[in-house]
Amino acid sequence: MSRPIFTGSAVAIVTPFGADGKINFDKLAEIIDFQISNGTSAIVICGTTGESATQTLEEHAETVSFAIRHTAKRVPVIAGGGSNDTMAALYLCQHAEEQGADGLLLVTPYYNKATQKGLVKHYEYIADRINTPIILYNVPGRTGCNFAVSTYAQLAKHKNICGVKEASGDLELVSRTMVATADEEFYIWSGDDKLALPMISVGAQGVISVLANIAPRPVADICEYALAGDYIKARELHLKYFEVMDAMFYEVNPIPVKTSMNLLGMDVGNLRLPLCEMEDANLAKLKTALSGVGLI
């Protein structure tokens, strides 16, 4: 059986913007280095947390290229390549593959959604035309589109589809998918920091984390302990940081995590509209959560 692209904690890294509103590549290099030096196992670039939805295709491609060059194979780079347009997704995937991405993260089609048959056709069309491993991304709360276990089982048979980032919050779906894909080289990663520990306990390989942007070492340690079977230490850290995990979603991601990074002096710039600054009440709660674990 092939090995997963990564185990442990991968950061769904933010995209820093400068005062001019353009992508700040110097800052992106700095935060990539910060992640690698603090135990992060992989960099996920241009995902939801990276505000890919408000980037032009040119910006998206440039950001992926930069992240791959700067990371320089120190850890795997997984490039976001999803779209509600199959041809646009294929373009992004082919570009990332040409640049040397180690993996591709493809969210389910949003807004127009898809039937289960449509999901199979969408992913197989792309997987037939690239060689880089694809991680499916299930986040129905954002896309309005959810995977069925039988669809996972069918897609798991494709040689270029290696697993899924599961952010449905449905632990029964995760367990049933583990059973249905047991004979395939198909891996599951949590798409939610709060569920990383319970998902690892039933066989997930780790997490694609929002919290890791501000607390990379604790998230890496939770995964390391859990994957080694030391659930006592994993649980201690999980519970210590649980309120901060929750705080990352006081408002829609990545508003809280980018706000947190700026509060911590990481200077990642503003959000792009329609995302905007936090409401005062939520900001106060966020500061309390951060101070509760000594981050501020």
Q: Give domain status of residue 196, yes or no.
A: yes
Residue 50 is assigned to a structural domain of this protein: yes
- Which of the residues are catalytic? 137, 165
Task: Provide the CATH number for the domain around residue 192.
Answer: 3.20.20.70
Q: Cα 238 from chain centroid?
A: 18
Residue 2 lies in a domain: no
Q: Which two tokens stand for residue 244?
A: 């901060």
C-alpha span between 44 and 209 (Å, rounded): 9
Report residue 53 as tokens: 């939805």
In a domain, 223, yes or no: yes
What predicted TM-score, i.e. pTM, was given to this entire model? Answer: 0.96
Residue 38 within any structural domain of the chain:
yes
Please name the residues in contact with 288: beta carbons below 8 A apart, sequence gap of 6 or more.
none
Q: How many residues does the chain have?
A: 296
Per the structure, the count of domains in the chain is 1
pLDDT at 66: 98
Q: Encode pLDDT of 251-268 as tens digits.
A: 999 999 999 999 999 999
E-assigned strand segments in the chain? 8-12, 42-45, 77-80, 103-107, 134-138, 161-166, 187-190, 206-209
Grouped pLDDT means (10 residues each) for the chain, 296 residues: 89 97 98 98 97 95 98 98 95 98 97 95 98 97 95 98 97 97 96 98 98 98 98 98 98 98 97 97 98 95
Has residue 243 been placed in a domain? no
Residue 237 forms part of a structural domain: no
The model's pLDDT over 268-288, given as tens digits with 9 standing for 90+, comes to 999 999 999 999 999 999 999
Print the domain residue range for 30: 8-230
| Cis before 274 (ω within 30) | yes
- Determine, yes or no, domain membership for 12: yes
